[in-house]
Amino acid sequence: MKKIFLSIGGLVLLVIAVLLVAPFFISLEDYKPEIAAKAKEATGRDLKIGGKISLSLFPTVAVEINDVALSNYEQGQSKDMVTLEQMALELQVMPLLSSEVVIDRFVLVKPIINLEVDAAGKPNWELEGAQTSVDDTAASESSDASDGSNGSSLGGLSLGDVRIENGELHFTDLSSGTKEDIEALNLEVSLKALNQPLSLDGRLDWKAETINLKADVANLEGLMNGGSTALEASVNSSPVNFSFNGTAQQASAFALAGALDLDVPSVKGLTDWVGAPIERQNEETFGPLSVKGQLDLKGPVIAFDDVSLAFDALTAQGALKIDSSGTVPSIVAALSTGVLDITPYLPPESSATADATSGSTSGGAATGQNARADQGWSDEPIDFSGLKAVNADLALKSEGVKVRKITIGVSELGILLQGGKLTADLKQLALYDGQARGKVILDSSKATPTTAINFDLSGVQAEPLLSDSADFEKLLGTLNSKASLTTQGVSQKAMVSNLNGNGDFIFKDGAVKGVNIPGLIRNVSLDALQNSFDEAQSTDFAELSGTYTIQQGVVNNQDLSMIAPLFRLSGKGTVPMPPKTLNYRIEPKLVGDLEGQGGDTGAKGLAVPLMITGSWSDPKIAPDLAGALTDQLKDPSALIEGVTNGEEGLKLPLGDGDAGGVDEVIEKPKETLQKLFGN
């Protein structure tokens, strides 16, 4: 037995000696042509080894190859697909006997990989020799899966010095015009065993920025076998920083769960860096972005809970879920925000709008408003395709919203988007000391998109609302209003032309600024008419109300009513919206009734109708004397009754625009009629 062990020991020593000595007697240079031939057979490409090949077989298998190049396909932009300055591999021999791989050293020095796609869409990484092995590979994978191992066929893997030094990756796609370059790629990998932590630490240069990469996997073997393992990963660079700390699992679908932190110093800088620049209207917008929350990713489903988002001066909290497993992605979100000032993100106001805004305070509003009104409705088709690109169920709450000068208080909005049909349900909106509710349904799933709008305003202060939204500062009061509207079309012009619906409004305890209606009634001469419309004038009223219908874009109102002490105002007419014109008759009249709100709307008295006609940009206002005379002569006694009050006449505090007013007495009704209507 002793002799047997001695014989075996001697044989082992002899084998070791051969392994140690053989490389000194074997010229690997002689095998370069044979290696190149085998590579050509396997890949269809030429392999060139320009440098030295060294080989050691014991105590480790050590191979070093220098100056290697694998040629590109014929139509390639680069001569070689892969070049390598040096590859060094040291592999322990003894662990291989127990199906373990222990790599002491694996270093790639300056590998340069050129990936290309030609104009016809053919990539250069599809090697000719690799095409014949697809079925065999699939069969092998199926066999491996059936043996129940679900992991590596190796009993163990240990990595020592594993590095990539100064690598480069270049990608060119002639079919799409895409070109990307990664340079200065350095990567270090550390793994003592498959069931021990795996550490990756690297950096690379992309688009003139250095990106640092780091990842730590607690148990690679568990991950490979479908289990769960702790995972930490981070990306750090000047344009963007990202970190994840949680768990990973590779089962039927890859899964991640844990804390995510995204920090972007400048969104504008990030988009510029990646080659997708955005235009911004304000230099202070698209700045810092911060997103934090708990990520739960399972294949195509991403859930994001406890979200905290900060973008410029905007903040939001809530939850988000994205499911991309369907034909279109689905988004479910519930977010609450602080005050959202979106004005900085809007395009600049046109010069006409700016003129109107400045004119409202300097007396030149008409010029700006006219220019804006003359622009007309656009017939450019509106692109609704975005409504079909995603399904969404969103619940949004906000402490407030600012849109240019419009200020909105606490609001709650529900948005449901399904198959191109958008339903926006405004459940709550604090608006200028009042409340607003409404619903908008936009259905773009039809050949011709349709829109339905319903809204209800209550207790809204009219002056700040109209001033901020339309630069109109002539009407004061507390507004209550309802409307129900429908339309259809693919352009602004079509939607205005097809607008139908109805609504009502009532202003209480208000005033009309810029006009003295009692003064207008008293004297209808041209000078008096001009003097009655003045910024210094105003007319208080107790109530202004009316209802309207809209058919094919034409607004029809027949019951405009203003009630105030000592005068009444009624109106009726149409406002055709498609051509932006007016055809409206206002009839103010003096009455012998001191009652305001709740007073008799039909009180009899002196009436001086006004006709408002023409375009929105250039309306014409003129007294309708012929109509007034015709109406009054229908019942002369009623007219006289309306303007007399006993023997001493009617004393009317008409006022001329000054505080306190001026008392005037109508003592002779006939002379008053002659003064009012002329001859």
Residue matched to tokens 């002779």: 668
- Both structure tokens of 562: 């203003």
Please, are residues 35 and 49 in contact by the beta-carbon 8 Å criterion?
Answer: yes
> Model confidence at 417, in pLDDT bands (50, 70, 90)?
very high
Average per-residue pLDDT in the chain? 79
Residue matched to tokens 């007013």: 661
Given a cut of 90, is residue 647 above it in pLDDT? no
Model confidence pLDDT, tens digit, residues 129-170: 655 444 454 444 444 444 444 444 455 778 888 999 999 999
What pLDDT does 348 receive?
A: 73
What pLDDT does 451 receive?
A: 96
What pLDDT does 519 receive?
A: 61
What pLDDT does 459 receive?
A: 94
Residues, the chain: 679
Given a cut of 60, is residue 73 above it in pLDDT? yes
Please, are residues 454 and 481 in contact by the beta-carbon 8 Å criterion?
Answer: no
What pLDDT does 349 receive?
A: 66
Q: Which long-range contacts (CB under 8 A, 24 or more apart) does 306-314 make?
A: 307/335, 309/335, 311/267, 312/284, 312/285, 312/286, 312/287, 312/288, 312/344, 313/341, 314/338, 314/340, 314/341
Model confidence pLDDT, tens digit, residues 183-207: 999 999 998 888 889 999 999 999 9
User: How much of the chain exceeds pLDDT 90, in percent?
Assistant: 43
A 10 A CB-CB count for 289 gives 18
> Model confidence at 649, in pLDDT bands (50, 70, 90)?
very low
Query: How far apart, in whole angstroms, are the C-alpha atoms of residue 241 and residue 265?
Result: 9
Query: How far apart, in whole angstroms, are the C-alpha atoms of residue 115 and residue 39?
Result: 19
- Both structure tokens of 50: 């320009």
Please, are residues 607 and 644 in contact by the beta-carbon 8 Å criterion?
Answer: no
What pLDDT does 364 receive?
A: 44
Q: State which of 92-106, 354-368, 545-559, 575-589 shows the largest mean pLDDT.
A: 545-559
> Model confidence at 676, in pLDDT bands (50, 70, 90)?
very low
Report CA Rg, the chain: 42
> Model confidence at 354, in pLDDT bands (50, 70, 90)?
very low
SS3 string, 160-171, reads: EEEEEEEEEEEE
Query: Between 669 and 556, where is the model more confident?
Result: 556
**Which uninterrupted H or E stretch holds 172?**
strand 156-173
> Model confidence at 668, in pLDDT bands (50, 70, 90)?
very low
- Phi and psi, residue 678, nearest 5°: 70, -150
Please, are residues 217 and 248 in contact by the beta-carbon 8 Å criterion?
Answer: yes
Model confidence pLDDT, tens digit, residues 483-510: 999 999 999 999 999 999 999 999 998 8
Mean pLDDT over 539-552 rounds to 92
Residue matched to tokens 């006409």: 352
> Model confidence at 353, in pLDDT bands (50, 70, 90)?
very low
What pLDDT does 187 receive?
A: 95
Which distant-in-sequence residues (6+ apart) come within 8 Å of 379 by Cβ? 491, 492, 493, 494
Query: How far apart, in whole angstroms, are the C-alpha atoms of residue 349 and residue 351?
Result: 7
Which distant-in-sequence residues (6+ apart) come within 8 Å of 483 by Cβ? 453, 454, 455, 501, 502, 503
Given a cut of 70, is residue 588 above it in pLDDT? yes
- Both structure tokens of 312: 């410029």
Please, are residues 80 and 110 in contact by the beta-carbon 8 Å criterion?
Answer: no
Query: How far apart, in whole angstroms, are the C-alpha atoms of residue 124 and residue 117?
Result: 6
Please, are residues 572 and 590 in contact by the beta-carbon 8 Å criterion?
Answer: no
